[in-house]
């Protein structure tokens, strides 16, 4: 069964969502991310994708206190991303309760550092963030484009031990128009053992079912939940039905 991973995106310590990664589209959904995390846990979900958007923009971890609050008050398995650019940032994330981290920009711009982290912490704790626009990798909170093509980029890191990839189609993110199922199927066809986490565009439970039927291992979603396109109760029932 597909793994369901709600996302909490953080700006100024608040739970927000953007559209296509554009900070000017910020919409606040809850002043207290811990409240959101506790509700997620209460419905039987086990995972949380916590994104430090302030960190992504400022290029160092900012919202680690929110991470610590959620990690200390829930049993959610948290993967944390945004602003992890240095050994210090990585230590801050793990020391404040992240069980996994999602790293994108460093992997693209400083491969030696990412490979060092991968060797030190292993493929179970390091998630490669592969955010893509028109088949190319985007970095630094999607503010910058690279010239790296998605599939060869993934293949190189899979050879070095990457097991988990969080792939976001930026054109779909926050649009509530459905995920890039064809893109994720293409990735899985190329790398069938990969634990691929689809991200961007989820608008309904039907979208999640479509990804599940396509054999995608996991999905991250946020805006659809916060906009009421489906509820935590419905997600809980989906999990029970599938298991």
Among the listed residues 155, 154, 79, the one whose alpha carbon sits nearest the alpha carbon of residue 121: 79
Tens digit of pLDDT for each residue in 108-121? 999 999 999 999 99
Give how many domains the chain has, as a whole number. Answer: 1
Tens digit of pLDDT for each residue in 28-65? 999 999 999 999 999 999 999 999 999 988 999 999 99
pLDDT at 86: 98
Tens digit of pLDDT for each residue in 74-126? 999 999 999 999 999 999 999 999 999 999 989 999 999 999 999 999 999 99
pLDDT of 140 higher than 70? no
How high does pLDDT run on average in the chain?
94
Domain of 64, in residue numbers? 3-242
> What count of other Cβ atoms lies within 10 Å of the Cβ of residue 127?
23
pLDDT at 143: 57
pTM: 0.94
Rounded Cα distance between 99 and 14, Å, is: 21
CATH of the domain at 71: 3.20.20.70
Give Cα separations from 55 to 6, 81, 89, 205 (angstroms): 19, 8, 10, 31
Give Cα separations from 74 to 66, 132, 218 (angstroms): 12, 32, 21
pLDDT at 145: 63
Residue 153 tokens read as 């980029």
pLDDT of 138 higher than 90? no
Tens digit of pLDDT for each residue in 190-236? 999 999 999 999 999 999 999 999 999 999 999 999 999 999 999 99
Q: How many angstroms separate the most distant Cα atoms in the chain?
A: 44
pLDDT of 71 higher than 70? yes
pLDDT at 162: 98
- Tell me the Ramachandran region of residue 176: left when phi exceeds 0, alpha when psi lies from -120 to 50, beta otherwise: left
The catalytic site residues sit at: 9, 131
pLDDT category at 144 given cuts 50, 70, 90 is: low
């Amino acid at each position: 069964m597909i793994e369901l991973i709600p996302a909490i995106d953080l700006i100024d310590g608040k739970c927000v969502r953007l559209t296509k990664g554009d900070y000017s589209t910020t919409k606040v959904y809850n002043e207290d991310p811990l409240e959101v995390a506790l509700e997620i846990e209460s419905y039987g979900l086990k995972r949380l994708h916590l994104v430090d958007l302030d960190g992504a923009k400022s290029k160092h971890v900012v919202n680690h206190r929110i991470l610590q609050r959620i990690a200390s008050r829930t049993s959610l398995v948290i993967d944390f991303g945004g602003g992890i650019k240095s050994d210090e940032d990585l230590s801050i994330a793990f020391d404040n309760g992240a069980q996994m981290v999602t790293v994108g920009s460093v992997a693209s711009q400083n491969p030696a550092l990412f490979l060092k982290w991968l060797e030190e912490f292993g493929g179970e704790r390091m998630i490669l963030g592969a955010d893509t626009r028109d088949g190319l990798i985007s970095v630094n909170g999607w503010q910058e484009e690279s010239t790296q093509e998605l599939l060869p980029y993934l293949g190189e890191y899979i050879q070095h031990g990457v097991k988990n990839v969080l792939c976001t189609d930026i054109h779909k993110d926050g649009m509530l128009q459905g995920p890039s199922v064809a893109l994720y199927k293409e990735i899985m066809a190329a790398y069938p053992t990969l634990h691929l986490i689809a991200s961007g565009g989820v608008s309904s439970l039907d979208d999640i079912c479509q990804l599940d039927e396509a054999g995608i291992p996991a999905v991250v979603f946020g805006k659809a939940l916060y906009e009421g396109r489906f509820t935590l109760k419905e997600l809980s029932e989906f999990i029970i039905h599938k298991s």
